[in-house]
Structure 1
Amino acid sequence: MSDFREAIDEALNRVIDPEIKRPITELGMVRSVEVSDDGQVTVGVDLTTAGCPLKDTITKDVKQLVSEVEGVSAVLVNLGVMSEKQKKELREKLTGHTERDIPFTKPDSLTRVFAITSGKGGVGKSSVTANLAAAMAKQGLKVGVVDADIYGFSIPRMLGVDDPAQQIDSMIIPPVAHDVKVMSIGMFVPDGTPVVWRGPMLHRALRQFLADVYWGDLDALLLDLPPGTGDVAISIAQLLPNAEIVVVTTPQVAAAEVAERAGSIATQTKQKVVGVIENMSYLQQEDGSKLELFGSGGGQQVSDRLSEMLEYKVPLLAQIPIDMSLREGSDGGNPVVLQGGEAAMQLEAVAAALTKRARGLQGRNLGVSPL
């Protein structure tokens, strides 16, 4: 009988919480396991919240994996909700602390942080952010996105986020779409409701997105910043001084000139600008020619000017074509990098270029000690 019970426990160890990405046994979600003489197994599972949107997935996985154990005739799942004490213990287990810390600024953090910015709106910054995140996840990285464009949030739609964020004690669990963890103010306001906040409120919201959200061990965190160099850009520089800046522009000279200002903020914040992306570069014609609807040279101009201003090379990472699939994918929550095409190839190449540098060894336990 002990071997039978061990097999059931092993099956439960393979049930992974869809949002936290850890076994439900490790998270303390398995309240009880009862086995009857005829092989019926009843599993008590405590959810993190009563309205957990993924409770059906957890129930299905428990039934499927436990039913595969030889000798099990039926599986029943009794759902409950964690107590406040359990939630507090879970938060401490996941984060290792109770105070509000931003994990990405700690010396042992190995997460690359990219702030995607632009000088003006309408250049496709959010769609670029969503596709870079999906491309990085497709390449096997653990990725998170913060929709820092508080007034003009659009990342949840572009990544197809359907589930709300959940809360455990004072910790927020971000929903996952296309293997990307996502956090946006859009998850907390009713549809059509404007966000009317001054600078201090914006700063507080951004800090909460970074400190109170359980991101886990990320390889990359992308921030979709609002256009310009206002309150949010300043707050990000204060909260994440290690963030690397990616500037998005169009070929149009007027857009390029404004984009330079967004990149030049690095002269004051001491952050590094790692590259420029020129979006809407051209429309591919059937005869193979390129129709440059918005002119040409804007991305290279931004690259050259920032390189001169910052005194290090700021490369032009890509010239992304106008692609109907890119727009349709953004509207439908299905990023174009998951579909293919020229725009997808360009964005995947940028994602690979941004993350090709190995994560550093600073803060990592190398398993050695002095003699």
Structure 2
Amino acid sequence: MTALNEEHIKTLLSEVVDEYSDDDIVSLGWVRGIGVDGDAVAVDLRAGYPVDGTRDSLITAVRDRLEADPGISRATVTLDWRVFAHQVQGELKPMEQVRNIVAVGSGKGGVGKSATAVNLAMALQADGARVGVLDADIYGPSIPRMLNIAGRPETTGKRIVPKKAYGMQVMSIGFLVEEDTPMIWRGPMVTSALQQLLGESDWDDLDYLIVDLPPGTGDIQLTLAQKVPVSGCVIVTTPQDIALLDARKAVQMFRRVDTHVLGVVENMSTHVCSQCGHEEPIFGTGGGARMASEYDIPLLGQLPLALRIRSDLDAGDPTVHADPESDIAASYREFARRTAALLARRPRSLQLNLPKIQVQNR
């Protein structure tokens, strides 16, 4: 029988793989402490992404593996989590009150990008994270309607206080203009508005700020890449070839400006008839997986085409909140966990917002 010691326990733990991170919990750095008392073992773990919704199953998996060893009679497992700020592009530094900015983009409109961004944010929050949403689509802001928020935000001095929806902090140009007012602005005005919405908002200790980008690869995307510290971006596509063509351009654009692409999510992957239950891939099959393979990026999830998603957003109550036990909500939660887990594998940011020290001869 192998003697119980820390190295033996680590070997056993290395056989437990986190399904969302695609690696074992030792390699992921989850192990904070190991205690051995005779044939009893205690293990303290900390994940790098929110696990409120999966904590019990993770603890059970670890405990079962440990207690399967004949030398261990009882295993005690504790698990918590903490989100750290991760590496951003270039010489930029993470924002003081926002640990990670995750941009959600697409090469073209009509692929359900905003719906995906909103439900991603709500799924992250459902797992315990502190989440904000920034509507960066200056010309066509839709987040206020999707989250049923109205009215102008309050201000404290020179800062704007984000509106609240379902516990999330939310900012949009849609709060500052009437819903039917067109934004007839040139590029510099649009990018200035984005920087103000992001930098002058009084964000409060966020793990993730989900940024809903406009479609395309224009001024907003370029400003985001050059001036906003982005931890990673998610590309939304549908399975058909035209959407995939434009999504590829989005991936290439983010790569050229040194912004990490976390992966691609295939929206409207399949449709299930609400009357008969027949499932049909209206927009084709396998497009997101092929694109992920072609560009060597993860496929973060495959989301359904469902009437419920549209009707819930029209009512201002996204499906993850409106029907949390549904298969649709489960798809969004799986996508969110995969996104957060892969972001947690990125190098942590070592850049601190410290004041510059000047030394002068007197």
- 1:113–1:300 CA distance, 2 compared to 1 (3 A): same
Asked if 1 retains the 8 angstrom alpha-carbon contact of 2:144 and 2:172, the reply is yes
Amino acid at match of 1:228: G
CA distance in 2 between counterparts of 1:346 and 1:166 reads 35
Q: Which residue of 151, 172, 177 corresponds with 1:184? A: 172
Match in the other structure for 2:317: 334
- 1:163–1:352 CA distance, 2 compared to 1 (3 A): farther
Match in the other structure for 1:346: 331
Match in the other structure for 1:318: 301
Match in the other structure for 1:119: 107
Q: Deviations along 1:210-253, whole A, 9 cap, x unmatched?
A: 21100011000111001110000001001224341100000111
Asked if 2 retains the 8 angstrom alpha-carbon contact of 1:252 and 1:297, the reply is no
Q: Which deviates more from structure 2 when the two are superposed, residues 250-259 or residues 162-171?
A: 162-171
- 1:198–1:110 CA distance, 2 compared to 1 (3 A): closer
Asked if 2 retains the 8 angstrom alpha-carbon contact of 1:118 and 1:249, the reply is yes
CA distance in 1 between counterparts of 2:220 and 2:114 reads 15
CA distance in 1 between counterparts of 2:168 and 2:96 reads 22
Q: Which residue of 274, 277, 298 corresponds with 2:287? A: 298
Asked if 1 retains the 8 angstrom alpha-carbon contact of 2:97 and 2:206, the reply is no
Q: Deviations along 1:322-355, whole A, 9 cap, x unmatched?
A: 1111111111110101113222111111112222
* TM-score normalised per structure 2: 0.66
Asked if 2 retains the 8 angstrom alpha-carbon contact of 1:245 and 1:263, the reply is no
Q: Deviations along 1:46-91, whole A, 9 cap, x unmatched?
A: xxxxxxxxxxxxxxxxxxxxxxxxxxxxxxxxxxxxxxxxxxxxxx
CA distance in 2 between counterparts of 1:149 and 1:298 reads 26
Please state whether the residue corresponding to 1:352 is helix, strand or coil: helix
- 1:105–1:228 CA distance, 2 compared to 1 (3 A): same
CA distance in 1 between counterparts of 2:245 and 2:184 reads 29
Equivalent residue runs for 1:37-116 within 5 Å: 105-106=93-94, 111-116=99-104
Asked if 1 retains the 8 angstrom alpha-carbon contact of 2:133 and 2:169, the reply is yes
Q: Which residue of 160, 167, 172 corresponds with 2:155? A: 167
- 1:259–1:162 CA distance, 2 compared to 1 (3 A): same
CA distance in 2 between counterparts of 1:142 and 1:126 reads 19
Please state whether the residue corresponding to 1:265 is helix, strand or coil: helix
Q: Deviations along 1:10-37, whole A, 9 cap, x unmatched?
A: xxxxxxxxxxxxxxxxxxxxxxxxxxxx
Instruction: Note the aligned Cα RMSD (angstroms).
Output: 2.2
Asked if 2 retains the 8 angstrom alpha-carbon contact of 1:159 and 1:330, the reply is yes
Amino acid at match of 2:280: L
Q: CA shift at 1:287, angstroms?
A: 6.9
- Say which structure, 1 or 2, has more relative contact order (CA 8 Å, 6+ apart): 2
Q: Does 1:220 align with 2:208?
A: yes
How many residues of Structure 1 are paired with residues of Structure 2 in the alignment? Answer: 256
Equivalent residue runs for 1:158-307 within 5 Å: 158-285=146-273, 290-307=279-296
Q: Which deviates more from structure 2 when the two are superposed, residues 157-166 or residues 205-214?
A: 157-166
Q: Which has the larger radius of gyration?
A: 1
CA distance in 2 between counterparts of 1:346 and 1:106 reads 30
Q: Which deviates more from structure 2 when the two are superposed, residues 348-357 or residues 278-287?
A: 278-287
CA distance in 2 between counterparts of 1:274 and 1:268 reads 15
Amino acid at match of 2:118: A
Q: CA shift at 1:363, angstroms?
A: 6.3
* Aligned structure 1 segments of 4 or more residues deviating by more than 6 angstroms: 107-110
Match in the other structure for 1:61: none
Q: CA shift at 1:360, angstroms?
A: 4.1
Identity level (%) = 39
Larger proportion of helix: 1
Asked if 2 retains the 8 angstrom alpha-carbon contact of 1:108 and 1:363, the reply is no
CA distance in 1 between counterparts of 2:124 and 2:98 reads 16
- 1:198–1:364 CA distance, 2 compared to 1 (3 A): closer
Amino acid at match of 2:142: S
Gaps of 5+ in 1: 1-103, 308-313, 366-371
CA distance in 2 between counterparts of 1:324 and 1:343 reads 11
